[in-house]
C-alpha cells in the first residue's frame, strides 16, 4: 500500500481560489524563516539563527515543501543543505503520519527547468520516494535535462536499451540508441561505457576529447627547477610573458623554448614526460588559446596529480600544492568567466622529488564545459589528433621523415 496519497486526480481549479490567499499567508510565515537560512555564511556565520528558523520551518506541513524548494534558487551550497534537510524532515514526518504530500505541486515544480538544479533533483527524489512508478514515468523525458543527476537516469535506460538491441542483433537500432545516449551523456562512466560499446561492438569512430571538451593542442615549456618543491611559488618567465621565440634559462641553466604539443588521448591527457622524458623536481608550463563565441560563464575542469596553478587571461585562478595523491577527470572544478574572442590559458605542472613508481606521472587533463558538464568548444577548435600520432612536437615530423628515408 502506498504511504502517500497522490493528488493527481484532484482538480487543481477547485483549489486555486482558496489556495491563493492561503499561499500568501503561508509564504508570509515561511519567508522570514527561509531568509534566516539564506543568511548562513563563512565560518559558521548565521548558524545559530538558522537553527532556530530550521526548527520552526520543519513544524510546517507538506504544503511548505515546494516553497522551500523554490527558495533554493540562487542560494549557496550551505543554504541549499539547510533547506534540503528541512524539506526532507517535513516529507518524512508527513509520510510517516500518512498525511498527504502534494505530488502535483512537486511534479509542477520538477517540470519547470528554470528552477534550481539541486532543488529539482530533490523534487524528483521526493517523488520517487512517494511513488516509484510515477517517478519512473518521467525518466525518458530527462534525456536533455540540465541536471546531470536526472539526465544520468535517462541515459542509463538508453544504454540498457542499446545493449539489449545489440544482443538481439538489431544493429541499426542499437547504433541509433547508443548514439542518442552518447549525445545526451554527461556522466563520465556512462560516456566510457557507451564509447566502448560503439567502438568495440559497432566499430564506430568516436571523438571523445571533443565530446568532453578537452583541450588537446598546447605549447609546452620545461624543465624549470622545483628542488625542495620551491618552484611552486617561484614565478618563472612563462608567468611573466608568453613568447614562443625566446629561449629561457631552465633547470641547470639549460636553455628551454616553447614547443608545440598535441594529445590524441581520449581524456585529453597532456603528458610532460613524453617530450621532456621523466624528470624529477621540475616545473613545466602548458599554454593554449581558446576563442569563445561570447562572453560567458564556464567551468575549467582539471585532473592532475601534480601540484599545479592555472591562469586565465593572465589572472591566477587557483593553485594546489598536493603531489601524487591521485587524479581523475573533473577532479577540480573552477568556475570562471570567458571573454568574447581570444582567451589564454596557462597551466603550471610541478613534479616533486618522490621516486616511487606511482610518482612518475607529470601530466594534467583540462576541459571547458558548463555547469552541467556539457562541453563548450572553441570557435576555432582544431581537429583531435589521430591516435597513431599520439604526441607531436616541433621537429618530430622531420625526424620521422628522415628515419623513413633511412
Partner 1 sequence: MRGIKNFNIASLVVFAFVFSVSSAKADWLNFRGPQGSGYAENIANTPAELGEAQVAWKAPLPGRGLGSAIIVGEKVFVTAASGPDQNQLHILCFNAADGAPMWERRFWATGRTMTNNKTCVAAPTPASDGERIYALYSSNDLICVDLNGNLKWMRGLTLDYPNASNSLGMASSLIISENTLIAQIENDSESFAAGFDLTDGTNKWKMDRPKAANWTSPTLLKIGDQEVVALQSSKGILGLLPATGSSVFNYEKGAATIPSGAAAGDKLYTPSNGLTAISATTDGSAPVELWNESAQRPGTASPIVIGENVYTINGAGVLSCADRQTGERLWRSRLTGPFSASPVAGANGLIYVVSETGVVQVIDPSSAEDKKVTSEYELSETILGTPSLSDGAIYVRSDKHLWKLGK
Interacting residue ranges for partner 1, rule: CB under 8 A: 40, 42-45, 47-48, 50-51, 54-55, 58, 76-78, 80-82, 84-86, 88-89, 92, 118, 152, 187, 189, 305, 318, 320-323, 325-328, 331-332
Cβ burial of 323 (10 Å; 0-12, 13-18, 19+) is middle
Q: Which is nearer to partner 1, 312 or 378 (CB)?
A: 312
The DSSP 8-state label assigned to residue 385 in this structure reads P
Q: How far is the CB of 76 from partner 1 (least distance, A)?
A: 8
Q: Which is nearer to partner 1, 249 or 321 (CB)?
A: 321
Report whether 191 contacts 178 (CB < 8 A): no
Q: How far is the CB of 47 from partner 1 (least distance, A)?
A: 4
Q: Which is nearer to partner 1, 21 or 96 (CB)?
A: 96
Q: How far is the CB of 114 from partner 1 (least distance, A)?
A: 20
Integer Cα distance of 299 and 302 in angstroms: 9
Listed residue (150, 137, 136, 209) closest to 184, CA to CA: 150
Q: Which is nearer to partner 1, 293 or 322 (CB)?
A: 322
Q: Which is nearer to partner 1, 53 or 262 (CB)?
A: 53
Q: Which long-range contacts (CB under 8 A, 24 or more apart) does 89-96 make?
A: 89/58, 90/57, 90/58, 90/60, 90/61, 90/62, 90/64, 90/65, 91/62, 91/65, 91/126, 91/129, 93/58, 94/61, 94/62, 95/3, 95/4, 95/129, 95/130, 96/3
Integer Cα distance of 165 and 174 in angstroms: 5
Q: How far is the CB of 80 from partner 1 (least distance, A)?
A: 7
Q: How far is the CB of 82 from partner 1 (least distance, A)?
A: 7
Q: How far is the CB of 355 from partner 1 (least distance, A)?
A: 17
Q: How far is the CB of 97 from partner 1 (least distance, A)?
A: 14
Report whether 156 contacts 190 (CB < 8 A): yes
Q: How far is the CB of 189 from partner 1 (least distance, A)?
A: 7
Q: Which is nearer to partner 1, 55 or 296 (CB)?
A: 55
Q: Which is nearer to partner 1, 77 or 387 (CB)?
A: 77
Report whether 146 contacts 111 (CB < 8 A): no
Listed residue (221, 366, 326, 360) closest to 283, CA to CA: 221
Beta bridge mates, 249:
255
Q: Which is nearer to partner 1, 7 or 323 (CB)?
A: 323
Report whether 73 contacts 34 (CB < 8 A): no
Report whether 121 contacts 132 (CB < 8 A): no
Amino acid at each position: 500500500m502506498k504511504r502517500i496519497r497522490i493528488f493527481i486526480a484532484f482538480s487543481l481549479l477547485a483549489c486555486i481560489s482558496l489556495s491563493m490567499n492561503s499561499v500568501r499567508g503561508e509564504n508570509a510565515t515561511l519567508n522570514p524563516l527561509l531568509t534566516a537560512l539564506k543568511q548562513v555564511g563563512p565560518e559558521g556565520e548565521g548558524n545559530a539563527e538558522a537553527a532556530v528558523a530550521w526548527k520552526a520551518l520543519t513544524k510546517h506541513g507538506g504544503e511548505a515543501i515546494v516553497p522551500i524548494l523554490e527558495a533554493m534558487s540562487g542560494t549557496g551550497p550551505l543554504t541549499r543543505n539547510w533547506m534540503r534537510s528541512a524539506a526532507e524532515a517535513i516529507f518524512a514526518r508527513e509520510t510517516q503520519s500518512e498525511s498527504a504530500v502534494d505530488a502535483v505541486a512537486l511534479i509542477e515544480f520538477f517540470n519547470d527547468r528554470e528552477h534550481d538544479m539541486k532543488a529539482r533533483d530533490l523534487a524528483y527524489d521526493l517523488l520517487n520516494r512517494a511513488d516509484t512508478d510515477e517517478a519512473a514515468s518521467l525518466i525518458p523525458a530527462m534525456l536533455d535535462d540540465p541536471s546531470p543527476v536526472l539526465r544520468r537516469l535517462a541515459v542509463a535506460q538508453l544504454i540498457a536499451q542499446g545493449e539489449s538491441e545489440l544482443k538481439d542483433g538489431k544493429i541499426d537500432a542499437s547504433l541509433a540508441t547508443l548514439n542518442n545516449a552518447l549525445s545526451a551523456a554527461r556522466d563520465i562512466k556512462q560516456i566510457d561505457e557507451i564509447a566502448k560499446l560503439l567502438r568495440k561492438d559497432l566499430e564506430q569512430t568516436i571523438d571523445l576529447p571533443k565530446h568532453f571538451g578537452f583541450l588537446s593542442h598546447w605549447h609546452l615549456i620545461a624543465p624549470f627547477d622545483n628542488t625542495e618543491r620551491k618552484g611552486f611559488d617561484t614565478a618563472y618567465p612563462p608567468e611573466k610573458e608568453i613568447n614562443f621565440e625566446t629561449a629561457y634559462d631552465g633547470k641547470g641553466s639549460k636553455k628551454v623554448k616553447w614547443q608545440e604539443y598535441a594529445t590524441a588521448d581520449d581524456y585529453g591527457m597532456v603528458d610532460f614526460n613524453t617530450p621532456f622524458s621523466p624528470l624529477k623536481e621540475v616545473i613545466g608550463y602548458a599554454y593554449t588559446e581558446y576563442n569563445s563565441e561570447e562572453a560567458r560563464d564556464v567551468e575549467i575542469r582539471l585532473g592532475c596529480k601534480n601540484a599545479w596553478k592555472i591562469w586565465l587571461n593572465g589572472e591566477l585562478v587557483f593553485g594546489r600544492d598536493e603531489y601524487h595523491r591521485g587524479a581523475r577527470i573533473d577532479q577540480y572544478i573552477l568556475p570562471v568567466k570567458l571573454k568574447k574572442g581570444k582567451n589564454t590559458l596557462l597551466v603550471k605542472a610541478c613534479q616533486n622529488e618522490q621516486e616511487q613508481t606511482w610518482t612518475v606521472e607529470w601530466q594534467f587533463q583540462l576541459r571547458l564545459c558548463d555547469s552541467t558538464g556539457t562541453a563548450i568548444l572553441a570557435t576555432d577548435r582544431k581537429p583531435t589528433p589521430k591516435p597513431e600520432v599520439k604526441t607531436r612536437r616541433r621537429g618530430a615530423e622531420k625526424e620521422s621523415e628522415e628515419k623513413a628515408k633511412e
